[in-house]
């Protein structure tokens, strides 16, 4: 029994020695690796993006200047047309008949005018021989003048009938695309009845709305860029062409941007994104990845570009090998990066990954793949 007690006591002693060993978890705690980004690139502008839809800069409404019955319309919406291409035609038979009648009326007026002129010559000769009176000569002169005026009117009637006949073909005024067809084949249409609309393929614009702060920083002629949503590689230059002085809705002011470049891929109705640059509030700033923010809730795309907001980041201290929390000021977002306008200096390193696992003053080891 005494020997058994000694064995148990020895076992407890060995266990206690093992627990009191200096090789504990605390002393051998692993130092967390830290990936950082070097603060070095200076930015002088922040970017705002506005989604919208590509629209033709101008849409032409096409109609006939004369009334008539349409022939078959063979165009389709979206079809590309060249200047001078036939859009629609009217049945010319009625107008051709009007031309024939006008020509017949002119011929009759010419014959009447010739007879009146010949009669006036005879009356003048007879007056010289005393056979007729001056009153009869005056009557003959009036008849001749009236007949001549009727000839002039008949010529104008014929010219108008021929002009109307020439207007039975509706042609494209420029190279473009058929935007809509508003009439059906064989329908009877009146003067100025809308037949179709087309738009030019080399003139597009984008409309969107901005708030009060942004519209006050815009001017007509300010440069912009338009990126196609369906093909982000296509980026076209543009300029602000119109600014609304009155809000469409509460604090929402209309802006129109006109493209100064074209591309074969663009079509009306395509989704696009307009990019506008504005000067940084403090004159310059540094770009920082979104992952550097301690609290994601502090990151917002601000409406007021001249009112930076605070945010926390971890800055690496090379002297102590630790990270420390620092408050910085964010002025906006540029190319998926935060734009920091205060709180950081060139040459400093900021934690760019695993921020949620760090704490103020924590010992870290700088990773070799830090930017």
Indicate if the pLDDT at residue 346 is higher than 90: no
Q: What percent of the chain has pLDDT over 70?
A: 84
Q: Which pTM does this prediction carry?
A: 0.55
How many Å apart are CA 138 and CA 218, to the nearest integer? 78
Residue 268: CB partners within 8 Å, gap ≥ 6? 54, 55, 56, 177, 179, 199, 204
Residue range 155-171: mean pLDDT, rounded: 95
Indicate if the pLDDT at residue 169 is higher than 70: yes
Fold of 50-56+203-279: Elongation Factor Tu (Ef-tu); domain 3 (2.40.30)
Q: The domain at 62-90+168-200 falls in which architecture?
A: Beta Barrel (2.40)
CATH superfamily membership of 93-166: Helix hairpin bin (1.10.287.470)
What's the confidence (pLDDT) of residue 302? 41
What's the confidence (pLDDT) of residue 19? 44
What's the confidence (pLDDT) of residue 74? 92
What's the confidence (pLDDT) of residue 316? 92
Query: Which stretch of 19-28, 93-102, 128-137 has the lowest confidence by average pLDDT?
Result: 19-28
User: For residue 284, what pLDDT band results from cuts at 50, 70 and 90?
Assistant: confident
pLDDT digits (tens, 9 = 90+) for 310-326: 889 999 999 999 999 99
User: For residue 334, what pLDDT band results from cuts at 50, 70 and 90?
Assistant: low
Better-scored residue on pLDDT, 234 or 29? 234
Enumerate the domain spans of the chain. Answer: 32-44+282-366, 50-56+203-279, 62-90+168-200, 93-166
Residue range 166-181: mean pLDDT, rounded: 93
Please provide the average confidence, as pLDDT, over all residues in the chain.
Answer: 84
What class is the 32-44+282-366 domain? mainly beta
Indicate if the pLDDT at residue 347 is higher than 50: yes
What's the confidence (pLDDT) of residue 70? 96
pLDDT digits (tens, 9 = 90+) for 190-224: 999 999 999 988 889 999 999 888 888 899 999 99
């Amino acid at each position: 029994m005494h020997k058994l007690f000694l064995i148990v006591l020895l076992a407890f002693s060995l266990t206690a020695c093992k627990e009191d060993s200096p090789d504990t978890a605390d002393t051998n705690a692993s130092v967390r690796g830290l990936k950082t980004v070097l603060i070095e690139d200076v930015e002088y502008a922040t970017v705002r993006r506005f989604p919208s839809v590509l629209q033709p800069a101008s849409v032409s409404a096409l109609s006939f200047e004369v009334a008539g019955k349409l022939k078959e319309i063979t165009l389709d919406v979206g079809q590309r047309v060249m200047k001078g291409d036939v859009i629609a035609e009217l049945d010319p038979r009625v107008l051709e008949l009007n031309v024939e009648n006008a020509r017949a009326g002119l011929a009759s007026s010419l014959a009447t005018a010739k007879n009146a002129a010949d009669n006036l010559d005879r009356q003048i000769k007879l007056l010289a021989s005393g056979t007729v009176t001056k009153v009869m000569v005056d009557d003959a002169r009036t008849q001749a003048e009236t007949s001549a005026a009727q000839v002039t009117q008949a010529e104008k009637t014929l010219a108008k009938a021929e002009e109307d006949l020439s207007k039975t073909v509706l042609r494209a005024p420029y190279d473009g695309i058929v935007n809509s067809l508003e009439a059906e084949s064989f329908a009877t249409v009146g003067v100025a009845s809308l037949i179709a609309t087309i738009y030019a393929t080399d003139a597009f614009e984008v409309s969107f709305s901005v708030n009060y702060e942004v519209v006050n920083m815009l001017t007509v002629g300010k440069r912009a860029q338009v990126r196609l949503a369906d093909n982000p590689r296509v980026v076209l230059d543009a300029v602000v062409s119109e600014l609304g002085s009155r809000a469409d809705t509460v604090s929402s002011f209309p802006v129109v941007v006109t493209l100064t470049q074209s591309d074969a891929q663009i079509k009306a109705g395509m989704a696009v994104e307009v990019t506008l640059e504005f000067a940084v509030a403090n004159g310059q700033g540094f770009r920082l990845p979104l992952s550097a923010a301690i609290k994601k809730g502090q990151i917002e795309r601000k409406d007021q570009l001249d009112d930076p907001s605070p945010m926390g980041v971890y800055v690496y201290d090379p002297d102590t090998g630790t990270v420390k929390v620092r408050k910085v000021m964010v002025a906006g977002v540029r190319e998926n990066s935060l734009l920091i306008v205060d709180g950081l200096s060139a040459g400093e390193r900021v934690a760019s990954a695993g921020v949620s696992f760090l704490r103020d003053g924590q010992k870290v080891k700088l990773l070799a793949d830090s930017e």
